[in-house]
Chain A
Amino acid sequence: MKQRITALVTLLVLGAMVSPAFSQSLSIVCRCVAGGANANQVAWLKEYVIPEFEKAHAGVSVTLNEFGGTDDALKQQYALDLSVGKGNDVMGFDGFWIPEFASGNLLKPLNAVAGAAVDGWEGWNHISAGIQSILSYGGAIYGVANGTDVRMIFYRKDILEQAGVANADAWQPTSWADITDAAAKVLAAFPDSAPLQINAGTSVGEATTLQGYYMLLLGTGEEPFMDGKWVVRSQGILDTLNYYRDIYVDHAYGSQRVQLVKDGRDQSFANFRDGKTAMLVEGDWFYRSVTAPGSDYAVDNRDEIMGWAKMPSETPGSGIRGQDYVSASGGTGWVLNPNTANPQLAWELLAFMNSKGARDVWMTYQPGIPARDDVPVPNSAFLTDTAAALLPLTVSRPNNDYYAKVSEQIQLMTENVVSGQMTPQQAMDAYAAAVTGIVGADAPFDLHAH
């Protein structure tokens, strides 16, 4: 018996020594789960990218680590991994995280990680400077963007129609009042509904800042960061907070509960799918992925009953740059881990993922606004129309060290208002105090002129 055990142990040890048949290995991580969030990305990576790359590089094995948590949790994981010199070789990254990771030396510019091969990449000639800047900081490029996005109001034609909203088939509000008027009509027709969803609160994180707060604040002609300074007190902030209050506290145009619970974003998607919510402000991702056929929140008969409208300014012409309508843009992409054991190989993988061939295939998994100009915009009326209508109007977030921290305070400020525990004025004062504490007393300023 004892001998047998010894033999078994020997065999296992030998087996363990022989098993690294692959000489090199790489890992990819993204917020993606097969059958769950961003399932298309998993499919594209597993069915196309990884097999093709392994075929072209004999002896290399690539593993995908699917991260199923929230964006905030992934960012936390990245920060902790990178601060101790660990982590996956290629990481899916949100553009607005770049400044704080770059200035904290947690990430390095691509060419500092993988050298001259980066500068000589053919892809740079096909990606515009604007899109390159999504994953840039201080003039250096830290990653390759997948593309960009735009934000708008998605609405349910069937619900607006039933509620008697005029022109429900091609609804286009021209002011904030138009939106709440429509919400009031839906609420009158369906008292149990939560007609309008404009994100607020801390639990959905950046989705509050960009899809909610930004889309409103831009309509007042302001941005959080103007002329190199953070605006901490202004009429635009007050108007935005008052509008939030109008929606979630003074009337039940939207569900206060959804803004405050932990899984509010999923609930808001479910409400839209179920027709409980008729208007929802989101990025084009909502169309491309969230409500797409086969996903958890697929809207049945989508082409007939789901429409989109441009987000109006507070009043016509009151928006940023005097616009009647506004939109906000961000973008995600992939970065290289500066701690990678195989920088050249990791770059080759990243370059392959962003080659024309791989991006063409990606468009068949999930059409979007492509980063590369040699990848044709997919034959999708939705994407062509929204890109044409909204890209000229859109605004990006400031590429500023403090952005992420200020953004958290923005989320807090909206939560203070929609929970009813502070008036807009009190919430703005608390925001002013907090942001001043973050960026230093000299930097922020009050904006009085409107």
Chain B
Amino acid sequence: MHQRRTILPLRTGLLFLGPAALFIGAFILLPFFWIAGVSFTNRTLTGATAANPQFVGLQNYLKLFDLSTFMNPGQFGSSLVITGQFVFWSAIVGQAVLGLLLAWFFYRRSGWVKESVQTLAIVAWIIPDVVVAFAWNAFLDYDGGTLNWLFGLVGLHKVDWLLAMPLLSIVLFNAWRGAAFSMLLFSSALGSIPPSYLETADVAGAGPWQRLKDIILPLIRTHIVTDLILITLWTFNTFGPFLLTGGGPAFKTEVVSVLTYRMAFKYFDFGTGSALGMVMMLINLGFALVYLGLLRRQGSSR
């Protein structure tokens, strides 16, 4: 029975699978096991432990979770809290909600406003990171920044954005950067709703809020969950804030990916860096499992 459904014979199928499996093996599985191994050693890039790394058991992990310093600035706990705030505000509130609003606002509309707003959002999404960071640095700069210039025009005081409101700056940056993805995903989800549903609702006298709550949201629920999975994982791992603030001032924007970078490639402490990487991976796995569970529950309830 199964035999009949396969398009390719088993051997050919494996052959086709080969290149991808090789790639995943070489660039994902191998580094993963290497990092898992290094996280139990005191390996560094320079110094005596570069030449002779030693097995240290769980020491790197215990250091990360040392409760006496856990919440100090620049330590893992504090970095996790910052990352949580960053993900919640920039990904879930910023990107997903903004993307949904944009998609909903332009749903069944056309014209130059829609075209230009959507194009701008997509441009923000596809420009290379370094270019974007340069532009945002110019935008937020204290002395010559565009934003402070605009503030000056309307008689407001200059704000030292990257220093006085560093977390807000990277949240705005990341929301702006990534809203296009959610917008595109939700636009296509909305496009799949049969127009007759909404026309019927119109006839029945439903307002825009009722249409959104009772028709649109339930119909695109799986898309919302998919969107949340993807942007949460991406935002959790993103290195973008580094380009804007370098993790500073005084570690106030040091999200976990930047902390990992500092440990591994600034302090050359591969052991601690790898341990951080492993913990991050477990957290990501946790997110993914929760969301996949939600998705499955929705699938079966339909």
Contact = CB atoms under 8 A, between A and B. Distances in A.
Interface string B235-266: 00000000001101110000000000000011
B68 interface: yes
Contacts of A146: none
Interface stretch (A21-29, A101-109, A390-398): A101-109
A104 B68 contact: no
A76 B250 contact: no
Contacts of A57: none
Given A101-B46, A104-B44, A76 B265 contact: yes
A106 B46 contact: yes
B163 A100 contact: no
A3 interface: no
A404 B50 CA distance: 14
A261 B250 contact: no
Which one of A104, A401, A402, A430 has the greatest number of beta carbons of chain B within 10 Å? A104
- Name the interface size band of chain B: 20 to 34
A229 interface: no
5 contacts: A99-B47, A100-B46, A104-B46, A201-B250, A260-B250
Interface stretch (A184-192, A280-288, A412-420): A412-420
Most chain-A Cβ atoms within 10 A of its Cβ — which of B63, B68, B265, B266? B266
A83 B246 contact: no
B246 A203 contact: yes
A79 B46 contact: yes
B249 A260 contact: yes
Which 10 pairs, one residue from A and one from B, show the smallest C-beta to C-beta distance? Answer: A104-B50, A260-B249, A419-B250, A100-B46, A104-B46, A105-B51, A100-B47, A103-B48, A79-B45, A104-B47
Interface stretch (B10-18, B28-36, B69-77, B275-283): B69-77
A416 B246 CA distance: 16
B32 to A, nearest CB: 20
A392 to B, nearest CB: 33
A326 B250 CA distance: 29
Nearest to B75: A430
Interface of B: 44-51, 63, 68-69, 72-74, 142, 160, 162-163, 245-246, 248-250, 265-268
A262 interface: yes
| Chain A: number of interface residues, binned into ranges | 20 to 34
A242 B217 CA distance: 58
A106 B50 contact: yes
Nearest to B45: A79
Nearest to B51: A105
Contacts of A105: 50-51
A69 to B, nearest CB: 13
A313 interface: no
A80 interface: yes
Contacts of B47: 99-100, 103-104, 401-402, 405
A262 B245 contact: yes
A402 B269 CA distance: 12
Nearest to B249: A260
A56 to B, nearest CB: 35
A261 B249 contact: yes
Contacts of B74: 412
B73 A416 contact: yes
B248 A433 contact: no
B249 A419 contact: yes
A433 B249 contact: no
A321 interface: no
A421 B50 contact: no
Contacts of A412: 74
Contacts of A250: none
A430 B71 CA distance: 12
A202 B248 contact: yes
Contacts of A401: 47-48
A405 B42 CA distance: 14
Contacts of B45: 79-80, 83, 104
A346 to B, nearest CB: 22
Nearest to A257: B163
Contacts of A71: none
A408 B69 CA distance: 17
Contacts of A300: none
A402 B249 CA distance: 26
Contacts of B69: 430, 433
A268 to B, nearest CB: 15
A128 to B, nearest CB: 28
A257 B160 contact: yes
A260 B248 contact: yes
A186 to B, nearest CB: 21
A243 B223 CA distance: 57
A421 B250 CA distance: 8
